[in-house]
Structure 1
Amino acid sequence: MTSTLRRAGGFAVVGTLALAAPSLGMAAFAPFAAVALLAAFVIDDGPLFELFARPGDREDGRLNGLAGFALAATVLALLATVPRVRMPLPIFAAAVLILAYGNLGARLVDSTTDEEFLRSAGFVVAAILAGTVGQIAIVSLTGPLRQLPFAQFTLLAALGGLVAALLRTALYERDDPLVMLSVGLSLWGVDTLAGSVSPTQTVISFAFTVAIGYAAYALGTASVAGVITGVLLLLLTIVFGGFGWAVVLVSFFGVGALATKFKYDSKAERGVAEGNDGARGTGNVLGNAAVALVAVVGYAATQTVGHAFGTDLFMLAFAGSVAAAMSDTLSSEIGGLFDNPRLITSFKTVPPGTDGAVTWQGEVAGVGGAALIAAVAAFFLPFPTAGAIAVLAGGVIGMTVDSLLGATVEGAGLGNQAVNFLATLAGALGAMAVWIPL
């Protein structure tokens, strides 16, 4: 057994202390606080030190990694027990166990292969199992097993595992405390806003998102981090909105990915191809879908307070932002195959690949993409008939704003991902603005 695997096992054992929370009550933080003090000030040599020490810890002569892990768990325990705050105890336990056992699952995979996709899959699977079991264990101490919402626990564990896995792709091992706190706060928010889910909904959600994610990875349309981000966004969309919302988002992911791969070699020769062989990363996925995520969370919040007009607006904002992302993607990927592009601000002919350059073929493809999303949204989302017109308009507005920003500020002041975000925001606002008078 390698030292990294033993260390991950040791952290998992420490994380399991979270299961004592119901028995300890207000003192649920105490075991982790004690571990943090021991790691920071007492254990500086011997077998325990060697078990938990990371490379940097040996240089400092202090178990900084273990101390940070335990301190993060201490903070979550306090949030779960302080009056008037009260993060649910199952969420606290899930956050700690998801990180601890997710790391163990990743290390187990590491012992047999160095494939990044399998390592991430090992992290998520172990995190889901540990997070689900942890919530069941916490709640079963105060109620009969037959009344436990197993499906809800599994779905929350999956969301937490994906959040943690995504953050781990961007952060270092020493940042585990930040990962744990982020998972805990994220799950607390989801648990507050999301409604109950049935076992059937959970199974279908998992099958749907895993199939889409694996297809994206197998086809090379997304990197490992991009796959995790996309699956997380889809799962959140299902939780907060429903399957109809997810179908709208998948329509963009699928058609947009195929458009990126379409005649990729020709676009590469012209210098207009997406980098990384067309595989979209986390930044690209979030740049195109962050506004949609905010909209679906806003929809869930207005559903909670029963504000009908607000739910319609957020629904249109969601569809309008996705239409803008689709319109922009198709206009770029299809338009880039044609000669004589013109700068949108001056209509002067410029070289292919120039930011803000458009072709009439690309514009037609972009309008078609917006129309496709409008049609899918009209079929799957319960908004008024005029909503389809608003979504189409929002898509075209977003595509135009993207080109204008590309011609004026992209590169000098804004990156491509920021421009994508602003374009989708324009699509969302445009759809709402057009719909209100209709």
Structure 2
Amino acid sequence: MDNNESQDRYGDSKRNSNAKSERVAVVGAVRSPFVKSFGVFENETALSLSLRVATELIARTGVQASDVDECIWGVVIPQTKNANLAREIVLFSGLPTSIAGFTLNKACDSSLQTAEIAADRIRLGKNQLVLAGGVEVLSDVPIPFSDEARRFLTKMSRARSFKERLSLIGSVNPKWFLPKPPALAEPFTGLTMGEHAEIMCVKNNVSRERQDELAYKSHINAAKATEAGYLKDEIIPIWCGKDKTIFVDKDNMIRPETTIEAMSKLKPVFDRKTGTITAGNASPLTDGAAGLLLASENYVKEKNLPVLGYIVDFITVGVDPNDQLLIGPAYTIPKILKNNNLRKEDIDVYEIHEAFAGQVLSCLDAMKNEKFCREKLDMPVFGDIPVDKLNIQGGAIAIGHPFGATGARLIGNALRIAKRKNGKYALVSVCAAGGIGMSVLLETK
């Protein structure tokens, strides 16, 4: 296989159809407010926000806590104090200790992956009720020391005498203990996500004007949805701050007052000379958590539970990081529809994660490019996604992007919009670090 081609891990329609023995229902979907990192959630942790989401899911749906079979949670920045966050959610929330839990990292696809694993376990009959979701609290990112400092501290802990410790101290270089921030670059390419997005914008001829226009619409649509009260059902209020005296019940990065003119004045942040990506047309660093409660259809009927919608199918692809790192949705959207014998017109709500406006536009342009569709997808041209079906209530550029939580937010958001529009199908697609793309097909009826 050519390095530029996607490697489709879940694209076999026969295998997919055999796995769909029982429908998987989304009976709950809630999240914290998404807020700017190093702000009002600076005293929160991945565990504290996840606990609020998990306990609220149980309370709102009214399910018996003892019926939960498993907790599966995503987080991208490693939490050294919560090595298995999912299990600690179970233990600290007061859920029965018999409930197992495990934590995963699939970059920005993390909470989509938790939902897929949960759905698969339910379809296989192993579970009937699962907590799935994810979190990111960049305000509480662990800051590691240098390798030299780590080796010194290890030797000090093993030293058996005062003389040995004194000898080690004499060899210390103070520079070893300067904080070492987490790496932002892709390990495989050495470039940051923003630099990869700039490459995509150049390769696909995506102008600064188009990027700013998409970002502007994201803020306006998110502001309108907030004002209309459409997000109240999904956002749980949080008391935060050192003394828990700060009340947050809305996302705090939406800018309804912004203008395209104001955005056009912002300086590029990754390629300062000729770049087009700015702080205005990229998603900001964000703290937040989001969760889902998934159940078998038999369990839903037995307990007479309300249902937001149903999980239909998932697909994951890998793309060459050296080519277009964030192009994954351009592969997964056409493929998942083909696997389920659907046309693009059958989808009522599309959600494409807004890591960068230029990345979204690159994916949209690729899907209506005959050469791309023929060579990369082995399909006829996919065509345009109607603007009135895409990111209807804004996206991550306005709302924010806690890496581990975005997928779960998008599932709940897409289903609520589809139900409000009396639509049947919704499709969520998320790009991720490492050259990964993932989509989930959802149904409301």
Taking structure 1 as the reference length, the TM-score comes to 0.21
Which structure is larger by alpha-carbon Rg, 1 or 2?
1
> Which of the pair is proportionally richer in helix?
1
> Which of the pair is proportionally richer in strand?
2
Taking structure 2 as the reference length, the TM-score comes to 0.21
